[in-house]
Amino acid sequence: MKKVLIALGVIVVIVAAGLVYVYTQLDTIVAGIIEQQGSAATATPVGVSGVSIDLGEARAEIAGLTVGNPEGYGGNAMSLGRFVIRIDPATVTDDTIVLREVTVSGATVNMVQRATRNNLRELMKNLESAGGGEQRPADGGAGRKLIIERFVLEDARASVSLPDIQEQRSVDIPRIELTDIGRASGGATGREVARQVLEPVIERVLQSAATESLKDRAKDKVDQFREGLMNGLGGDESG
């Protein structure tokens, strides 16, 4: 009996030690999953500089999340400064996990437009084609879906490069807020969520870049008109 109790005690210690290890290494484990699954979904390098998870608060914070550009484009497509996720703890073990809020602050989006192609749209194509467009459960959690009650992108900027006309500009991205992503379908896959989030971001970047370009062209016209007017006035005075 004593030997049995000792054996049970050893097992409990091993299990407890394992749980402590998993808990203390959870941030590292999640960072690895993000990099692995993200790279597989986008077909580009995905990196994370840090992950902080508070199980008690059902909150996660990701720092330095970068998404590389598709083949043929250099550098990163996106750098998401501070990525905060608040989870509904009651749904953690469900097939559909509810994220109460996802806030991305200080993001930088680098868009390269070449004729009718740009790097962000090619990223979306990669997301759609990865895994044949379907998310196949490789383990107990890979097939889970998401509902995001509120998504916010704020304090973001975009670098827009148009190599064909040798133009590059930096523009502010207006605040984007989306609600109930995946709600209508009872949950969305990670790729579907990425697509639903990426589409309005691309649209806002394009709109902002186009607006700034029009402003610059209008200013050039005004400057030319003013210069012509002043030259005309000068001519009258001299006559």
Reported as a single tens digit per residue, the pLDDT across 83-102 is: 899 999 888 888 898 999 99
Q: Which residues of 75-93 are buried (b: 16+ CB within 10 A; e: fewer)?
A: ebbbbbebbbbbbeeebee
3 state DSSP class of 177: strand
Comparing 10-24, 117-131, 214-228, the range with the smallest average pLDDT is 214-228
Q: Band of the pLDDT at 207, cuts 50, 70, 90?
A: confident
Give the whole-angstrom CA distance, residue 194 versus residue 44.
14
The closest of 119, 1, 135 to 69, measured between CA atoms, is 119
Q: Please report whether residue 112 resides in a domain.
A: yes
Q: Please report whether residue 216 resides in a domain.
A: no
Query: Which DSSP letter does residue 174 get?
Result: P
Q: Please report whether residue 234 resides in a domain.
A: no
Q: Please report whether residue 232 resides in a domain.
A: no
The closest of 191, 202, 114, 125 to 156, measured between CA atoms, is 202
Q: Please report whether residue 236 resides in a domain.
A: no
Higher pLDDT, residue 201 or 100:
100
112: domain range?
2-205
Q: Please report whether residue 50 resides in a domain.
A: yes
Amino acid present at 97: I
Q: Please report whether residue 155 resides in a domain.
A: yes
Which pLDDT value is given to residue 7? 58
Comparing 51-55, 107-111, 139-143, 183-187, the range with the smallest average pLDDT is 139-143
Q: What is the largest CA-CA distance in the chain?
A: 120
Alpha-helix runs per DSSP H in the chain: 2-24, 26-42, 119-129, 190-238
Structural domains in the chain (count): 1
Q: Please report whether residue 224 resides in a domain.
A: no
